[in-house]
Each structure stands twice: as structure tokens, then as C-alpha cells.
A = this chain, B = another copy of it.
Amino acid sequence: MLKNEIYKEAVNVAVIGATGYTGVELIRLLLSHPKFRIASLTADSRAGGDITDIFQHLNTYDLPKLVKVEDVNYNNIDAVFCCVPHGESQSIINNIPENVKICDLSTDFRFDDVELYEETYDRKHEAIELQKTAVYGLTEIYRDKIKKTRLVANPGCYPTSVLLPLMPLIKDGIIGQENIIVDSKSGVSGAGRTLKDSSLFTEVSDGFSAYAVTNHRHRPEIESQLVKCSNKNNIRVSFTPHLLPIKRGILSTIYIDIKDNYKLDDVKDCLKQKYDNEMFVSVLGNNIVPSTHDVRGSNFCNIGVFYDSHSNQTIIISVIDNLVKGASGQAIQNMNVMLGNEEKEGLMQGVIFP
């Protein structure tokens, strides 16, 4: 059995909510991270048991027993990844000692605007003071702030795929803030491990549908970030998510209008300049079409830029693995930044293909 203790000098990490898909993905990535040691795993409904009772694929590793959230001993913990559903993070994180670094994977701290959070999620914000200290963890955009914060609000999976290409273009004023149409398609793991008819193999496999048309909660998250990086106070995005019969992967097809005084090359140049020195974000060459196959299991985001002269339409296509760059991978990337590790440490697993 593989000994967790080989990492004795490492940062001690707790994963709160370890038995959801972002939790087990964190465990996968942490287990090959040279600086992190998994010191605590929580799962209230399974406290006292082993995570291998649920996930046999971890049977080779020597992992701590599952405990209740309230039973985590923070004396031994340097960093926390919080993977509980939205609405549950705020009170949990309120109770974590000041010296512990936190990356929260829920939506609970993603909105600077508390009212927008409360409206979108239809509940009171329970940690308004903490919210003021939180940094939105889109690493390539907010790296400098992430270095200095104690609390990162890890971005949503759809927003990550949309904001990485759009934020530099909005910020530089190359594209207009109108007529932004985002047609996104996500693998099923994005829906988590909750039991529902629409996640059954029999009802997903060999088919495709849209869902939450006109009212998905990731739309306000996307818009609030776009507004923040522009000097506009109003950007409206049309966002339509679809459910792909795949396990992992998001592809967003984004239709935008380039402003009159700009050309397609300006779009490409802007993105290339922004991301050329980034490890995890690639702007693909001309005519190379992004595919979720090319990022599966990895922290990469690939972006393709296309111009249809016939209809005068600019199209950006981006792909990520929703569980990695869209969740647990970006969380580790953020924690690496917060702790002064090399940003790519523990994230260099290759893409699984085929």
C-alpha cells in the first residue's frame, strides 16, 4: 500500500466533502503532488468509514478515515479544499482558524456583490465579512491577488471555459458587450454525484439535450466577472448549457462581435499575448478545432478563434476538463499560488488519450 507519509515534510491538507466528484478528483491530484499530504477527509454521512468503501479505485493508497466536518482537527491542517454544495461552505469556512489557507470550490464566495449572490441562489449570505477577503480564483487573471489572499473562491466550470477567452478581449475593448452568445456543452460529472433520473446512464447515454435554458446560475457569475474587467456596468450574455453524454469535458462555442476598429488578428493577438507564457492555456493555431479529447484528465484550456467572413461572425471555441481546470485542478493551481509553490506542481499529468 502506498504510504501517504512519504510526504512528511509536506503541507497538510484537508478535503472537506471528499466523496463528491470534485473531492475524489482532488484526491487523485493531491496523491501525485510532491508538496501536499492528505491529512483529513470529511464526509458527514460516511464518517467513520473508509473512502475506499465508496471508491475502490483508491484502494492502493493509505488514506485517513472519513470524519465529520466538525471533527477536523485544524491543529494539523495547513490548507483546506472545501467541496461541499453551495450554501454549506460559508458557515464551515467561518469556523476555520485564520492561519489556514482555503480554496472553496462552491459558489459561496464567487460574487463580490452579495446581493447578486443572494438573488441568484435565493438564500442569505452567511459570511459577508469573509466575502470581502475572497479572491475569484481564475488563476491566469487574478494571480497577483491570489498570492496575497487566504480565501480563494474557485470559479465554476462553465465560467472558467467562458472567461478565460472573453476577459482579455473585454478588458482590452476588442469585442462589444452586446450579442455575446455562449452555447456550452458539458459532460455529466458537472452535475455531481447526486442521484436523479436525468443522470442515469439509461437517460444520458446516446442522446443530447439542452437544460436550464435562459436561467442557469452560471450566467450571473460570468456576467459579473465580465463587468468587473470592463468599465461597463452592464454586460448581457445569452447562455445555453447542454448535457453531453461524456464523463468529463466542457466545450463552449462563443459567438461575439468584434468592434468596428478591430480585426480578427487583434482578437488572436490579444489572447496570444495574454496566454503565451501560461502553462495551462493555449491559443491554438489557425484552423485547429478544439476538442474535449485534447484536455481530458488535464488542467489545460485550449482556445480556438475563427472568423466567418460570410456571415461576419467571430466564433471562439474553448475546451477544458470540467473536473480539472473547471474545478479540482484549478483549485490546486490556486493553492500552489497561495502557498508559493511552483504553480504547475502536481498538475503535469498528461492528457488521457484515447
Enumerate chain A interface residues (CB-CB to B < 8 A).
2, 21, 24, 27-29, 31-32, 55-60, 179-181, 183, 185, 188-189, 193, 195-197, 199-211, 213-214, 219, 236-238, 240, 242, 244-249, 251, 253, 255, 279, 282, 284, 288-298, 300, 302, 304, 306-313, 315, 317, 319, 323, 348-354
A253 x B183 contact (CB < 8 A)? yes
Most B CB contacts (10 A, CB to CB) among A211, A213, A248, A296 go to: A213
Contact partner of A245 (CB less than 8 A), chosen from B210, B242, B246, B295, is B246
A12 → B minimal CB distance (Å): 19
Please determine whether B207 and A188 come into contact, CB atoms closer than 8 angstroms.
no
Report chain B residues within 8 Å CB of A312. Answer: 236
**In the assembled complex, how far is the CB of residue A26 from the closest CB belonging to chain B, in whole angstroms?**
11
A200 engages B205 (CB within 8 Å) = no
Instruction: Tell me, in angstroms, the Cα distance from A290 to B205 when the chains sit together.
Output: 16
Contacting pair A317 B353 (CB below 8 A):
no
Contacts of A247 in B (CB 8 A): 201-202, 205-206, 354
Asked if B295 contacts A57 (CB within 8 A), the reply is: yes
Contact B352 A297 (CB under 8 A): yes
Q: Complex formed: what's the CA distance from A320 to B319 in Å? A: 26
Chain B: minimal CB distance from A40 (Å): 19
Residue of B nearest to A306 (CB): B213
Residues of B within 8 A of A304 (CB): 213
Docked CA distance A196–B193 (Å): 10
The answer to whether A214 touches B306 (Cβ under 8 A) is yes
Q: List, sorted by A's number, 29 A–B pairs whose CB atoms are closer than 8 Å.
A: A21-B202, A28-B350, A32-B350, A56-B294, A56-B302, A57-B296, A59-B302, A181-B181, A183-B183, A193-B200, A201-B204, A205-B206, A205-B247, A206-B296, A207-B246, A207-B291, A208-B292, A209-B251, A209-B289, A209-B293, A209-B319, A210-B290, A213-B317, A238-B308, A244-B245, A245-B245, A247-B354, A248-B354, A349-B350
Determine if A206 and B206 form an interchain contact, defined as CB atoms under 8 angstroms apart: yes
B255 and A255 form a contact (CB under 8 A): yes
B29, B55, B284, B296: which contacts A353 (Cβ < 8 A)? B55
Q: Could you tell me if B354 and A181 are in contact, using CB atoms closer than 8 angstroms?
A: no
Q: A32-B349, A209-B292 are in contact. Are A253 and B249 (CB under 8 A)?
A: no
Query: Smallest CB–CB gap between A66 and chain B, Å?
Result: 16
Closest to A183 in B: B183
Given A59-B302, A179-B179, A295-B57, A249 and B208 contact (CB-CB distance below 8 Å): yes
Contact check, B282 vs A201: say whether CB atoms are below 8 A apart. Answer: no
